């Protein structure tokens, strides 16, 4: 989630807010920017909340997709109202949801320098508005087909598209016009998750190093059991004496039967 003064904004997929990365606040323009991970084929919705719950002014949140104005919704006065925008009208009775789509690559030279500077951005502007007449929703002019030249230096693989249409009840909407400078601007720059990881935007945990296994070798000499009815202290002493003699005897026998030593080369495969 992004927050600026009393306003909060976020993008959600499958009902959950997307995590934001590299958040930056620009007070000079009342703007907060961040990166989010997009997944082609996933529907998403845009949310904005006025947490002041005291404003009596007419204030609305407007959504811009890939640099194109979509539409906006007015906040309800004196409430912690959350504006949710997740679709657009393609006719006065059919809406289509927002969906992350895949940019089409082309080798046509006419597209070398024509890629949109705002492609790969979702923006929310909170503004004061002046309300006017009621009307039926108009058909959207949102462009959802984007071509990017394969030699383009702008690493954008996703864009905003539209999903399947849904028939809704016809309703009246009210025209509005925003006035003055935006009270807050939230900019979500979206990219494929792997691309964000490759560029260090999403931190990648360092791989865990495996500890070398240590083999424990028992070098102790087998104990010799001694049966006796005397106290344990004497038994241990006598047993130790016998073990020393037997060890010396074995060592002498080994010296007499020494075999040639064979050296084996060890190759490190690690």
pLDDT level of residue 210 (50, 70, 90 thresholds): low
pLDDT bucket at 55, cuts 50 / 70 / 90: low
Scored b (16 or more CB within 10 A) or e, 248-259 reads: eeeeeeeeeeee
pLDDT reading at 30 higher than 80: yes
Query: What value, to the nearest 5°, has the Cα angle with vertex 71 and ends 119 and 62?
Result: 80
Under the banding of pLDDT at 50, 70 and 90, the label for residue 140 is confident
Prediction pTM value: 0.73
β 7-13/166-167 pair status: unpaired
pLDDT, tens digit (0-9, with 9 covering 90-100), for 145-196: 777 766 665 678 899 999 999 999 878 888 888 899 999 999 999 999 999 9
The string over 132-150, giving b where at least 16 C-beta atoms fall within 10 Å of a residue's C-beta and e elsewhere, is eeeeebeebebebebbbbe
Ranking 24-38, 42-56, 63-77, 223-237 by mean pLDDT, the lowest is 223-237
Strand extents, DSSP E, the chain: 2-4, 7-13, 16-17, 21-26, 31-38, 45-50, 59-65, 68-74, 82-85, 87-89, 94-102, 104-106, 121-135, 147-149, 158-162, 166-167, 173-192
252 pLDDT more than 70: no
Residue 65's closest CA among 99, 37, 89, 32?
Answer: 99
Reference 72, options 61, 81, 64; nearest CA is 61
Residue 127: pLDDT band with limits 50, 70, 90: very high
**How would residue 251 be classed by pLDDT, with cut points 50, 70 and 90?**
low
pLDDT digits (tens, 9 = 90+) for 66-80: 999 988 899 987 778
pLDDT tier, 64 (very low <50, low <70, confident <90, very high otherwise): very high
Nearest to 149 by CA among 181, 102, 106: 106
Contacts of 202 (CB under 8 A, 6+ apart): 21, 35, 37, 193, 196
Structure tokens at 69: 């104005």
pLDDT band, very low/low/confident/very high, at 142 (cuts 50, 70, 90): confident
b or e along 28-57 (b: 16 or more beta carbons within 10 Å of the residue's beta carbon)? eebbbbbbbbbeeeebbbbbbbbeeeebee
What does the pLDDT look like over 104-121, one tens digit per residue? 877 776 554 545 678 999
> Residues 256-267: pLDDT tens digits?
444 443 333 333
């Amino acid at each position: 989630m992004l927050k600026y003064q009393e306003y909060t904004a976020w993008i959600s997929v499958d009902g959950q807010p997307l995590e934001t990365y590299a958040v930056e606040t620009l007070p000079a323009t009342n703007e907060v920017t961040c990166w989010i991970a997009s997944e082609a084929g996933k529907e998403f919705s845009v949310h904005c909340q006025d947490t002041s719950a005291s404003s009596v002014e007419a204030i609305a949140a407007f959504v811009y997709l890939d640099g194109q104005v979509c539409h906006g919704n007015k906040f309800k006065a004196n409430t912690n109202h959350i504006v949710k925008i997740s679709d657009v009208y393609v006719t006065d009775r059919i809406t289509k949801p927002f969906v992350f789509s895949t940019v089409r690559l082309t080798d046509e030279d006419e597209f070398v320098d024509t890629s949109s500077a705002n492609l790969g951005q979702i923006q929310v502007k909170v503004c004061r508005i002046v309300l006017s007449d009621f009307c039926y929703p108009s058909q959207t002019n949102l462009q959802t087909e984007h071509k990017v030249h394969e030699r383009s230096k702008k690493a954008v693989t996703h864009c905003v598209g539209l999903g399947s249409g849904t028939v809704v009840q016809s309703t009246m909407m009210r025209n509005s016009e925003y006035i003055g400078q935006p009270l807050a601007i939230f900019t979500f720059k979206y990219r494929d998750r792997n691309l964000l990881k490759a560029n260090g935007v999403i931190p990648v945990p360092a791989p865990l190093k495996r500890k070398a296994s240590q083999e424990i070798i028992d070098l102790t000499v087998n104990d010799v059991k001694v049966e006796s009815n005397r106290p344990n202290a004497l038994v241990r002493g006598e047993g130790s004496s016998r073990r020393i003699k037997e060890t010396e005897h074995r060592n002498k026998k080994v010296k007499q039967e020494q075999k040639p030593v064979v050296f084996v080369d060890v190759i490190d495969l690690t």
